[in-house]
Amino acid sequence: MKLNEYIEITNEDNMELMARYPDKYFDLAIIDPPYGIGESMKKRENTVSDKWKNPYKKQHDQKEWDKQAPDKDYFDELMRVSKNQIVWGANHFISKIPYDSSCWLVWDKKNGESDFADCELAWTSFDKAVRKFEWLWNGFQKQKPETRIHPTQKPVALYAWILKNYAKQGDKILDTHFGSGSIACAVHNANIIDKMELSLVACELDKDYFESSIQRVKAALQTQSLF
């Protein structure tokens, strides 16, 4: 589905999507794949124990997409079709990425005393130093809430920071695990505000998430900026 001249999202298996593209077609792959820690099997509800008393928090259906991380064949294909990569959660499956990196990204969630992880890590193919992004998140953006449509949803602001620091003018971006669609909102903002002329090709296998994310991105395309 082509949402506009620079964003195309499909409901399909990521290996089928990548098979259609030649070597090094994409300038940058930014992915947030399953970590293989069973997060999708947890039933989340609004309770009084929610420290942040998040009015945007919702219960998610239990699914099985996070039972295991992508295998080595997936990463071989990802690195075939893209020149550079940013892979969230790689600390859970680093043995499947056969390259060392000096440049890890650290998302400091500023959670404080909670049962959530203090940070999330992303492996990158860039020859740069470790960098940290601080953004309060507890399944939502506390200062300017985003409706949560996916249990592992990341904030638009995080993707905006990545694009600002690691994407170049006119880059072709790939996302093989579209999820909530935050990356598309960030690409839209970068094109409207910073005139970056980025393009995004992405896919989501789960039909429910695909449909929800499409509606979210369509709404974002009607605005100048989501944050």
**Quick check: 57 and 44 in contact, CB under 8 A?**
yes
In a domain, 226, yes or no: no
Closest by Cα among 193, 178, 196, 166 to 6: 196
- CATH number of the domain within which 128 lies: 3.40.50.150
In a domain, 227, yes or no: no
In a domain, 90, yes or no: yes
CA distance 69 to 185: 25
CA distance 81 to 65: 23
Q: Is the pLDDT of residue 39 over 90?
A: no
In a domain, 155, yes or no: yes
CA distance 176 to 165: 21
Provide the number of structural domains found in the chain. 1
The pLDDT assigned to 14 comes to 96
Residue 193 C-beta-side C-alpha neighbours within 13 Å: 15
Q: Is the pLDDT of residue 12 over 60?
A: yes
In a domain, 135, yes or no: yes
Provide the domain limits for residue 196.
Answer: 2-221
**Quick check: 59 and 95 in contact, CB under 8 A?**
no
Q: What are phi and psi of 102, to 5 degrees?
A: -90, -15
Model confidence at 28, pLDDT cuts 50, 70, 90, reads: very high
Q: Is the pLDDT of residue 29 over 90?
A: yes
This prediction's pTM: 0.85
